[in-house]
């Protein structure tokens, strides 16, 4: 894949899976001269993790300001020895809500850093859904299906502002630096409408920005909507938007997880299939490996690539980041890859076959959905502080 596009003063390279993403990011780190910022949900102590650890240490030793921000739950298994090695080399490492003791289901603890971002020299950024972990899951020959974008151009300023702001917020939370808190207040910037747009979800002023971007694009769709999403459990408003689009003649295609990764989530999502299929929406289940993509293409001209799933945890609780691109060539490149994966590595859910599932399967799906919604409702309504 690895397709390059020039859009409104930007250069965008669409990257598929870690096999394209990791070499590009490692090369950028090796070429860095002044600064490196990285954010990730999962940083694994595996071969890929070692490659990046070595690269970050090398950059820090040659005088590059090197800052790594990891989620305290997603990266909790990273050995302290790895952190010590990076610190000794000069890499600054911070944790977003590092868990102390037993993990709880309180809303505060479920506010995770789910963004996967990198910024090199304030000039080149990487935005997507790919974690720092080996590309192929146990038991599969194919890698997880996922995407990222390497981007240069004006939007990188917005990415820089967002990443530096979050770093300072976390640093202040850890070290109570009043001076840095003042800097945080000065760094906030509201994105403006543009052809390449960086969209975030946080607990402050951008709680619903990613969801609104999706809903606006769906509402304006005239021909086709393709959404590929790893963990798909939308609320009623999102489902109604998709159903309304299908009813007005738009082809609506959902490309979803086919393999069972998290049972409650998986079967709760399947409980929605009947309503969606009945409305004329096409559903394809990815079979080659785990689906990890969070992308969409609408009318062959609007596209998004990022970290946000379409489920309550991404849309209401986690910190997320997506790139929205309005460009025919970029959208066509992503669309072609999705259609190829649907044709060759996926199975279409046929409505007539779906309706013939036995009573036990229906019971499992609907009980899973009820449990998931009860859990989500309890978490969303639980009053906790929104500090970072």
Residue for token pair 């910037």: 189
- Distance between CA atoms of 212 and 373, rounded to whole angstroms? 21
Question: Would you call 294 a catalytic residue per the annotation?
Answer: yes
Out of 5, 71, 292, 327, pick the active-site residue.
292
Question: Would you call 121 a catalytic residue per the annotation?
Answer: yes
Structure token pair of residue 93 = 């490492």
Out of 206, 266, 294, 311, pick the active-site residue.
294
Out of 123, 259, 299, 366, pick the active-site residue.
299
Structure token pair of residue 23 = 């070499």
Smallest CA-to-CA distance from 257 within 283, 280, 286 is with: 286
- Distance between CA atoms of 68 and 366, rounded to whole angstroms? 41
- Distance between CA atoms of 80 and 287, rounded to whole angstroms? 36
What three-state secondary structure class fits 152?
A: strand
Q: What does DSSP assign to residue 223?
A: S
On whether the CB atoms of residues 277 and 283 are closer than 8 A, the answer is yes
Give residues with Cβ within 8 angstroms of 369, minimum separation 6.
Answer: 267, 268, 271, 272
Work out the angle at residue 286's Cα, subtended by the Cα atoms of residues 20 and 362, and round it to the nearest 5 degrees: 155
On whether the CB atoms of residues 349 and 257 are closer than 8 A, the answer is no
Listed as own residue / partner, the contacts of 24-28 with beta carbons closer than 8 Å and 24 or more positions apart are: 24/126, 24/150, 25/52, 25/118, 25/126, 25/150, 26/51, 26/52, 26/55, 28/118, 28/120, 28/124, 28/126, 28/150
Out of 10, 116, 160, 206, pick the active-site residue.
116
Question: Would you call 134 a catalytic residue per the annotation?
Answer: no
DSSP secondary structure, 38-76, as one string: EEES-B-SSHHHHHHHHHHHHHHHTT-EEEEEEETTTTT
**Alpha helices, DSSP H only, in 262-304?**
263-270, 273-278
Out of 114, 160, 206, 266, pick the active-site residue.
114
Judging by beta carbons within 10 Å of its beta carbon (0-12, 13-18, 19+), is residue 378 exposed, middle or buried? exposed
Give residues with Cβ within 8 angstroms of 21, minimum separation 6.
Answer: 15, 126, 128, 130, 146, 148
How big, in percent rounded to 5, are the helix, strand and coil portions of the chain? 40, 25, 35
Question: Would you call 299 a catalytic residue per the annotation?
Answer: yes
Question: Would you call 116 a catalytic residue per the annotation?
Answer: yes
Question: Which residues participate in catalysis according to the annotation?
Answer: 114, 116, 121, 292, 294, 299
């Amino acid at each position: 894949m690895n397709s390059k596009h020039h859009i409104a003063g930007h250069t965008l390279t669409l990257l598929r899976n870690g096999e394209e993403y990791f070499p590009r990011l490692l090369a950028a780190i090796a070429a860095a001269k002044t600064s490196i910022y990285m954010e990730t949900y999962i940083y694994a102590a595996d071969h890929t993790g070692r490659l990046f650890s070595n690269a970050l240490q090398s950059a820090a030793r040659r005088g590059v300001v090197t800052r790594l921000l990891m989620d305290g739950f997603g990266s909790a298994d990273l050995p302290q020895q790895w952190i010590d090695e990076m610190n000794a080399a000069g890499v600054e490492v911070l944790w977003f809500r590092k868990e102390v003791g037993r993990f709880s289901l309180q809303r505060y603890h479920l506010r995770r850093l789910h963004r996967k971002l990198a910024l090199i020299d304030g000039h080149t950024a990487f935005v997507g859904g790919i974690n720092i972990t080996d590309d192929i899951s146990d038991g599969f020959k194919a890698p997880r299906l996922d995407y990222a974008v390497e981007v240069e151009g004006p939007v990188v300023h917005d990415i820089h502002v967002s990443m530096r702001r979050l770093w300072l917020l976390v640093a202040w939370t850890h070290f109570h630096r009043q001076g840095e808190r003042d800097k945080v207040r000065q760094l906030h910037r509201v994105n403006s409408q543009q052809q390449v747009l960086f969209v975030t979800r946080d607990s402050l002023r951008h709680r619903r920005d990613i969801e609104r971007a999706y809903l606006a694009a769906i509402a304006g769709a005239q021909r086709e909507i393709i959404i590929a999403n790893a963990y798909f459990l939308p609320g009623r408003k999102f489902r109604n938007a998709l159903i309304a689009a299908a009813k007005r003649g738009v082809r609506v295609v959902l490309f979803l997880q086919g393999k069972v990764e998290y049972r409650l989530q998986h079967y709760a999502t399947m409980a929605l299939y009947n309503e969606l299929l009945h409305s004329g929406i096409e559903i394809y289940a990815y079979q080659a490996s785990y689906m990890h993509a969070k992308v969409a293409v609408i009318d062959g001209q609007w596209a998004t690539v990022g970290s946000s799933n379409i489920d309550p945890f991404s849309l209401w609780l986690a910190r997320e980041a997506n790139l929205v691109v309005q460009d025919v060539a970029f959208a066509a490149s992503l669309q072609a890859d999705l259609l190829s994966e649907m044709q060759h590595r996926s199975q279409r859910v046929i409505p007539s076959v779906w309706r013939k599932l036995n009573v036990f399967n229906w019971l499992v799906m609907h009980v899973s959905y009820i449990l998931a919604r009860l859990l989500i409702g309890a978490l969303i309504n639980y009053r906790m502080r929104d500090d970072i």
